[in-house]
Structure 1
Amino acid sequence: MKRAILVKRNDPRSEDYENELQMTELEELAGSAAYTIVAELTQTRHPDRKYQVGRGKVEELAQLVQDVHADKVIFHNPLSTMQVYNISEICRCEVIDKFQLILEIFATRATTHRSKLQVELARLEYELPKARAIISILKKEERPGFMGLGGYEDSYAQDVKNRISRIKDELKDVERDRDSLRSFRHSKGFSLVVLAGYTNAGKSTLFNLLVDESRTVRNMLFTTLVPTTRSLDVEGREVLLTDTVGFIEDLPHWMVDAFRSTLNEIFFADIVLLVVDSSEPLEKIRRKLLVSHETMWEQLQEVEIVTVFNKSDLLTEEELDERMLSLGYLAPNPVAVSSRTGFGIKSLKQEIRKHLPRWDRIQLSLPLSEEGMSMLSWLFDEGVIHGVDYSDSIDIDLEARENILNKARSFALKK
């Protein structure tokens, strides 16, 4: 296991609870990247241009690196290239910030060609603004492996821009294929439902319970990097349920842009199941809901949101009611569930059913014949049959999308 020291500079105007939540998130990220946290260091001050924290605090950090034999220093605060260089010169070990740590995690979880392209795009978007400083440092002193970049020529910045352009073009091609698949699914009557929310809220466990499938579920951040879609029956309506990558606070625009095609799984949905861990402190849930809404808001004006208060088995009924009431303005259509015990799953399916795109419901009669039975079998696959009565004809109570109803009407007995 790699040994890491976590460092955070607190803004003098920030609240204590906010700083605690941010440090906890950094701890979870480091754990997800398989680091052993051997020490933590904080300082409250305005940012130092050369070191982010004060020079004295960096010297204290350098001594701590020696004392605990740390392999890496991880800052919560975004670091400039010069700050990384200056701190690493004093501490004599690798120094990264939170966003580089996230990229490390994404790189280890990327398993498909698309996700690997997305990770590389995010890394290059991160490096591009720093290219000039990196080249300046490399010219000043040869530092093999500095920032993981190795030795680069002055053409490095242009090479990065060219590679970014090529990756974006390739991702556009992939996305066109996915858009065609979404359109095909919609044309076949499938409604699209996605699980979204802050990372580590229990989305993958809930997904497994809903679709009766075993997927990797670990108590760490970003276990889902590649969206997975499965069929789900919701009170007779078949929908496609997708598990997506989790949100996280303060993701920079370059990282959001790099994973835009993953987020599009959310933006193209008919219903978003916004999952939160209801067992966390109220203020923490509030912040995570805000992050989730900020990430989705621009493109979800017309999409129905169902807020899923997961892990409700860890609270009393009174605690759960209090939280759902306090967070009502951030939690539309709330449903309490436990993906561990199965509590609330029936209520969740009922809520999903209520918000699915509307299908019309009609009564009609089919001929009592081999062709009529064949049509009935097809309608069972394509719609919802609420009732069937066999007499001189096959009388059915049918709910379906418009093109299915039109086909059924064309075959029905005229009255």
Structure 2
Amino acid sequence: MPNGQRIEVLDSIRGLASFSVVIHHTLIATPIFLAAHYHESIENNLVKVLTSSPLHVLWGGHEAVLLFFVLSGFVLSLPFLNQRSPKYSQYLIKRICRIYIPYILSIALSAGLLFLLNPSNISDLSDWFNGMWSSSITGKTIFSSLLMLDYHVHNLNTVTWSLVHEMRISIIFPILIFFIIKYTWRKSLLIGIFLSLFACIANVLVYRTIQNDAVFLLVTSLSSTVYYTNFFIIGAVVAKHRHQIIPKIKRLNSSYKFTILAVSLALYCSEWIIPKLGYYKYNGDIIQTTLTTFILDLIIMTGIIILFTLVLSSSTFKKILLNRYLLGLGKISYSLYLVHIIVLLSIIHFFKYDVPFGILLLIVPIISVFVAILFYKYIEFPSISLANRIVNNKNRSDSKTIVATRYSIKK
């Protein structure tokens, strides 16, 4: 099957993952689901079932972000692996326009609505929710947002922490892919795991030694970027070896494939199926938290890799995922990721005195999809088109320069 179709299938997965992030944030806006998220003791049986079972896949926010990182590594590597490596300048222009322009406009939109709605604390909702739009915008916030420094992101658009790392890793990705192409998959995986371990050790040392808040935030942000580089590497390694992996899975019968699917989802939800590990992730000391996070993320990543290879190998799963509605969700997935927090905050603060919170939270995912469609049409797609125009104009300019040079040499 052509590469483009494979990517379409993965786009549907990206869309579903993005929607699961929307559900995740909508649910943890309530105190009971936030407590469940931190593995605190919960008496509500429905919340227990939705949390500590594979059903958590429906609202696995952290897991979805790891999936985005692996998927980025997979997709970004394809041109390099297919001998169609773009010029670095062209690659960088496309990544900046693709990521940065929608990102910064979402920040501006959130800042504008913060100013207009003048929100206040809502006691019925969670501390996580009330931490957003809770402080005024300062020059430091603007400076940090413009340069993607990962400072105070929760106040304006909490999801943008991941875009900081996405942008940084994208900048160095052509260097990473050079080594991934050169080395065996074992060496590449070892390099990725080493980077994550190095970042974990750095975080522990920084936590124990650095007292200055600004330096602490900067160093931990950079070490997090190093940590998440591993997931890009894994995605690229899977892309490199997909032609060897996929035929082996294709030969399996349907029962084996559904068993593999169940295993991948269990690994994906490992934090919630093994709640003791999840508890230490949020409630242990710095070493316990760091080590548990590292182990769980490796398990989740394994589940993601299995899922990717499975859907690329199964005609049944492809048929399901190539549904036009899922493809449409995949198309707007980045816009949905960017705007849903703004929709959540706007709806709650605008209607908080007139409509029960339960109803408001129910309509947030639906409204988010419609707003994402508009954001994609008027912000994201024009940003992509702008990148293509800049690259095409640069190519034409370069071609004219080459022709003119050749003509002058002949003369």
TM-score bracket, normalised by the shorter chain, equals under 0.3
The structure that is helix-richer by fraction is 2
* TM-score (normalised: structure 2): 0.24
